[in-house]
Chains A and B, each alone.
Chain A
């Protein structure tokens, strides 16, 4: 009895397998032979390790560059997903070749650039994106309180921003810990009745600003462009005392606005000297904030995979891509 059950089961398993295989696609062995033949003809690019730091704009840059490197030079691209810190550690060991978007890391530069550190990393020019860090409010507030975009009026609106988190003062929403921030110093040195409460992550900041716009609740916090969320909810910047050279050198006494940052490409020195054809591509790569925000929106808002989003943009912008390669 039991045996019969067993053989019935095996039989049906085998039958299922056969049916599946009958409708199954191509033959693996065939393709294996093809691959083996092609192995010798691969381009001279070899492996390309494009780190992906944890924000969507970065992902957009990395996958666009990676897509082009794959298509034009036959590079075997991998995308290790790493925090900024850890990516820079990887330059020295060959596990990371390119960090495609760097917002400025004096501390890491000191550790890894040639003049003061071990020389495992070097700069490879700007990405064309301009990072605009600053204090932002949701659009509804800028409309209702037009003068709020000047820091000198913030004190009179401080009450609006009070929350149970901010201990009787106005709440200023600080950002993801990975970003360079001087808000605690700015609040203190400009004598503003605010308390910096850290959102803790980019996701948390975005959630808070989205809520604030949808519910028409007051919010002020640290934000930045390029960032896809800006095309969904165009936050309005609050002007702090203008940035002057060196005004943010001493972290404790900062009382000025953030500078506009030219975003840079950082690469592994060893890779840069390797003669890989992809080095020219990375050197030449340059696009605008709008370009990046569009690809980032494909990924974050439209739910496309990063590969598809990059391929779509590259297809739609052949002349821009051509310009990087010439």
Chain B
């Protein structure tokens, strides 16, 4: 939910999950596609007006259906039988182990290790070790970056919380790899496993965490173990997907060559496939880390130690704590950026190492010397208070005050504009579209969706759509699902408009790219909970606010994809067009954007999935519909079943639009 689907990068999306569509050559239509689309839309509008507000399957916010009660009983039975449920006992033992490990690590770097008044290793020691490790895996520049990043976190005032977050993140990522890599090997080498596991991964990534947070707490108890468990559920798919993809991408000729030389499958895996896929697998690790970090605040809902707790505490205290929330969120951003840069550099380095670029003698000496310095730093940090506990600084409060005044200023001066924007957008776009999608009888909207899927994506898309429409009907939340679909579509349109403007601008001006890219990176990892309060202050609760939060969250990934796409257009083509006298506008609209079409489709697809992934956050700010249902199910046991059903409906919506978009892109190639 809230959390980011950060991992859905191009690798994932381009991942040919199932076999690519058999070549159904695009039939030569006599009537152009646009006419058909217009026809379906027209009929939809007419029917919705004629039949009016009937058969919409509307269910009040706190209403339930039989299916929801059935789903809810499942959890009630689990709780009633928890003392003698063997699965729970087994998982309980596992979670005790998790807790012990995490608590031991906490004693090492973040919490007082009794009887010591401070952790075993103080901040200076941690910085020393981290600097040394990044020097070893990523090089000088990145080591300095790590030292600066950790120093910044200390100055912002969240050292122990950031250490806790790092512990949970590293521990979860380790489990993801331990469990995920063997699965990836199976998926990469066996088509059938691939076909079975892929949909499971889809569900793990799109099911909002709020749905399984409380039930999982039954199994994993409320210590750090539950935080690790929910993080693993969400962060494991990218590790598996990307590694499996990497293994499959090893060229078949290479494999044939080694097979003909008499290698066994095991040898082939160890000697050929894994080494050749190493770089991509490290990208998988990187994506897994980013996904794990996007769970920090969600895990805070079940008391996970780390940076999530200060964010939630500030959120609870309301509009006087916006600055405080921002500083805590900024610490998460710093952690994410440091980890991202180091792992990316490490993957590039491992590529060089694999090609046999051996490090020179100077490097070993350097590593040794810095290693000794790190040991000294650890020793000092064990001995002196000021080197163990990060000294208090004014930086955090100063930043918080500055952000707070900015937020207050915006609140006082921009409301006239924001209210106008909110009301106009809601009346002109959201309401009419919602009247059409959710206000039509269910069979009209359902048929329209199926027909559109057929026109855009062909038979495979139609089949997915029929299954998903049926599934959504079965969840008993058709009306809410259609309201959510409307908001998601509107948000995606806004995302694409903003992403096109930013992306084209970035692609055409290096300087703009250099300034915007880090800002977009930061916006992508900044937890949405941080900016919910100021956004609420500006727009008030409602669907527009939910859409706005989703757009902020989804624009970075889409804009970066657009920029990459436009930049890939061959310079010769651009030169030719310029020589032929195209204006800048003509160049963009007639040459660069059409030629970047593949990337644009991908950007829209990713933008939409990102928007969908924070539907529940939208529910917390007045977005209503499925997001609200999930939040309701999380907070009230009597509505657990309804929340679960809403989670399933969100998964189905995601699968439906993703399949249609992919098939549509496939056919247009």
Using CB atoms and an 8 Å cutoff, list the residues of chain A in contact with chain B.
Answer: 2-3, 6-7, 9-10, 13-14, 17, 20-21, 23-29, 31-33, 35-36, 39, 54-56, 59, 80-86, 89-90, 92-93, 95-96, 105, 107-108, 111, 117-118, 163-165, 167, 173-174, 176-178, 181, 184, 196-208, 210-211, 215, 229, 251, 299-301, 303
Contact = CB atoms under 8 A, between A and B. Distances in A.
15 contacts: A20-B387, A24-B384, A28-B116, A28-B118, A28-B383, A56-B317, A82-B303, A86-B217, A86-B222, A95-B222, A118-B80, A164-B431, A165-B543, A201-B631, A211-B540
Contacts of B544: 164
A56 B431 CA distance: 35
A196 B536 contact: no
A318 B576 CA distance: 84
Nearest to A176: B635
Given A21-B387, A184-B61, A85 B635 contact: yes
Contacts of B639: 177
A314 B170 CA distance: 41
B214 A86 contact: yes
B631 A177 contact: yes
A163 B426 CA distance: 10
Contact of B319 (A17, A28, A174, A210): A210
A199 B383 contact: no
Contacts of A303: 317, 320-321, 324
A13 B117 contact: no
Contacts of A111: 76, 79-80, 637
B369 interface: yes
B536 A177 contact: no
B275 interface: no
A20 B380 CA distance: 9
B373 interface: yes
4 nearest interchain CB pairs? A24-B386, A24-B384, A178-B635, A164-B426
B394 to A, nearest CB: 15
B52 to A, nearest CB: 13
A97 B430 CA distance: 47
Interface stretch (B446-454, B470-478, B620-628): B620-628
A75 to B, nearest CB: 16
A117 B80 CA distance: 8
Interface string B112-131: 00111110000010000000
Contacts of A56: 316-318
Contacts of A26: 385
B383 A29 contact: yes
Interface in B311-349: 312-313, 315-321, 324
A248 B618 CA distance: 30
Contact of B542 (A10, A96, A197, A229): A197
Given A31-B117, A200-B541, A83 B427 contact: no
A13 B620 contact: no
B300 A17 contact: no
A200 B426 contact: no
Given A3-B362, A32-B116, A82-B302, A200 B624 contact: yes
Interface string B634-668: 11111100000000000000000000000000000
Given A10-B372, A211-B537, A203 B316 contact: yes
Given A35-B117, A56-B316, A81-B303, A201 B222 contact: no
B222 A82 contact: yes
A164 B542 contact: yes
Contacts of B362: 2-3
State the majority secondary structure of interface residues on A.
Answer: helix
B628 A25 contact: no
B536 A203 contact: yes
Given A10-B369, A89-B79, A17 B387 contact: yes
Contact of A90 (B222, B384, B542): B222
Contact of B376 (A14, A35, A82): A14
Interface of B: 60-63, 76, 79-80, 82-83, 114-118, 124, 213-214, 217-218, 221-223, 300-303, 309, 312-313, 315-321, 324, 362, 365-366, 369-370, 372-373, 376-377, 380, 382-388, 415, 419, 422-423, 426-427, 430-431, 532-533, 536-537, 540-544, 618-624, 627-628, 631-632, 634-639
B61 A23 contact: no
A204 B541 contact: yes
Nearest to B221: A93
A268 to B, nearest CB: 13
Contacts of A203: 315-316, 318, 532-533, 536, 620
A93 B313 CA distance: 25
Contacts of B317: 56, 299-300, 303
B316 A59 contact: yes
A6 B366 contact: yes
A13 B132 CA distance: 13
Contacts of B628: 177, 198, 200
Nearest to B62: A184
B477 to A, nearest CB: 15
B316 A55 contact: yes
Given A6-B365, A17-B376, A86-B302, A28 B117 contact: yes
B478 to A, nearest CB: 18
Contacts of A199: 541, 621-622
Nearest to B382: A28
A174 B619 CA distance: 12
A33 B525 CA distance: 43
Given A54-B312, A164-B427, A211-B540, A107 B115 contact: no
Contact of B634 (A14, A31, A85, A211): A85
B320 A95 contact: no
B71 to A, nearest CB: 15
Contacts of B427: 164
B48 to A, nearest CB: 15
Contact of B222 (A3, A17, A59, A96): A96
Nearest to A212: B540
